[in-house]
Structure 1
Amino acid sequence: MPTKTLRITTADGRADAFVAFPEHGERHPGVLMYPDGFGIRPVLREMARELAGHGYCVLVPNLFYRHGPAPVIDLPEHIGEEVRPALMARLMPLIEAHTADRALSDADAYLAFLTARPEVAAGPVAVTGYCIGGLLAVRTASAHPGRVSAVAAFHAPVGAAGPDALAGLTAQVHFGHAESDLTPEALGELNQALDVAGVSHTSEIYPGTLHGFTMADTDAFDPAGLRRHWDRLLPLLDRALAGN
Structure 2
Amino acid sequence: MPSINATIDTADGSCPATLHTPNGPGPWTGVVMYVDAGGVRDTFQEMAARLAGFGHAVLLPDVYYRHGDWEPFDMRTAFTEPDQRTRLFSMIKSITPDMMASDAEAFFDFLAGRPEVKGDAFGVCGYCMGGRTSVIVAGRVPDRVAAVGSFHASGLVTDEPASPHLLADRMKATVYVAGAKGDSGFTRDHADTLDKALTAADVAHTIEFYPAGHGFAVPDNAPYDHEASERHWIALQELFESALPN
> Same fold, TM exceeding 0.5?
yes
Cα distance in 2 for partners of 1:216, 1:84 equals 20
Higher mean displacement: 175-184 or 18-27: 175-184
Secondary structure of the corresponding residue to residue 150 of structure 1: strand
Q: How big is the alpha-carbon RMSD for the aligned residues of Structure 1 and Structure 2?
A: 1.7
Q: Retained in 1: the 8 A contact 2:3–2:21?
A: yes
How far residue 107 of structure 1 moved from its aligned partner, in angstroms, is 1.2
- Asked if residue 27 in structure 1 is aligned to residue 27 in structure 2, the reply is yes
Q: How does 1:117-128 map to 2 (within 5 A)?
A: 117-128=114-125
Distance of aligned partners of 1:123 and 1:107 in 2 relative to their CA distance in 1, 3 Å threshold: closer
Aligned to 1:48: 48
- Asked if residue 237 in structure 1 is aligned to residue 237 in structure 2, the reply is no
Secondary structure of the corresponding residue to residue 175 of structure 2: strand
> What count of residue pairs does the alignment treat as equivalent?
239
Q: Retained in 2: the 8 A contact 1:128–1:151?
A: yes
Cα distance in 2 for partners of 1:203, 1:84 equals 33
Aligned to 2:71: 73
Any unmatched runs of 5+ in structure 1? Answer: none
Secondary structure of the corresponding residue to residue 236 of structure 2: helix
Aligned to 1:147: 144
Q: Retained in 2: the 8 A contact 1:80–1:218?
A: no
Cα distance in 1 for partners of 2:218, 2:85 equals 16
Post-superposition Cα deviations, 1:134-167, rounded to whole Å, max 9, x if no partner, equal 1111111112222211011001122254343122
Cα distance in 1 for partners of 2:77, 2:90 equals 21
- Asked if residue 195 in structure 1 is aligned to residue 192 in structure 2, the reply is no
Cα distance in 2 for partners of 1:30, 1:119 equals 9
Cα distance in 1 for partners of 2:150, 2:198 equals 14
Cα distance in 2 for partners of 1:88, 1:233 equals 30
Aligned to 1:215: 218
Secondary structure of the corresponding residue to residue 95 of structure 1: helix
Q: Retained in 2: the 8 A contact 1:8–1:17?
A: yes
Distance of aligned partners of 1:27 and 1:37 in 2 relative to their CA distance in 1, 3 Å threshold: same
Q: Retained in 2: the 8 A contact 1:22–1:53?
A: yes
Q: Retained in 2: the 8 A contact 1:40–1:61?
A: yes
How far residue 191 of structure 1 moved from its aligned partner, in angstroms, is 1.3
Cα distance in 2 for partners of 1:44, 1:113 equals 20
Distance of aligned partners of 1:163 and 1:4 in 2 relative to their CA distance in 1, 3 Å threshold: same
How far residue 171 of structure 1 moved from its aligned partner, in angstroms, is 0.3
Distance of aligned partners of 1:227 and 1:177 in 2 relative to their CA distance in 1, 3 Å threshold: same
Secondary structure of the corresponding residue to residue 203 of structure 2: coil
Secondary structure of the corresponding residue to residue 150 of structure 2: strand
Q: Amino acid of the residue matched to residue 102 of structure 1?
A: M
Cα distance in 1 for partners of 2:78, 2:99 equals 30
Secondary structure of the corresponding residue to residue 117 of structure 2: coil
Aligned to 2:111: 114
Cα distance in 2 for partners of 1:228, 1:91 equals 28
Post-superposition Cα deviations, 1:33-91, rounded to whole Å, max 9, x if no partner, equal 1101111111101110001111100001111101124xx22333x52577465432111
Q: Amino acid of the residue matched to residue 239 of structure 1?
A: S
Cα distance in 2 for partners of 1:136, 1:82 equals 20
Distance of aligned partners of 1:29 and 1:220 in 2 relative to their CA distance in 1, 3 Å threshold: same
Distance of aligned partners of 1:31 and 1:82 in 2 relative to their CA distance in 1, 3 Å threshold: closer
Any unmatched runs of 5+ in structure 2? Answer: none
Cα distance in 2 for partners of 1:198, 1:180 equals 28
Higher mean displacement: 165-174 or 153-162: 153-162
Cα distance in 1 for partners of 2:82, 2:226 equals 24
How far residue 6 of structure 1 moved from its aligned partner, in angstroms, is 1.1
Aligned to 2:11: 11
Cα distance in 1 for partners of 2:11, 2:114 equals 19
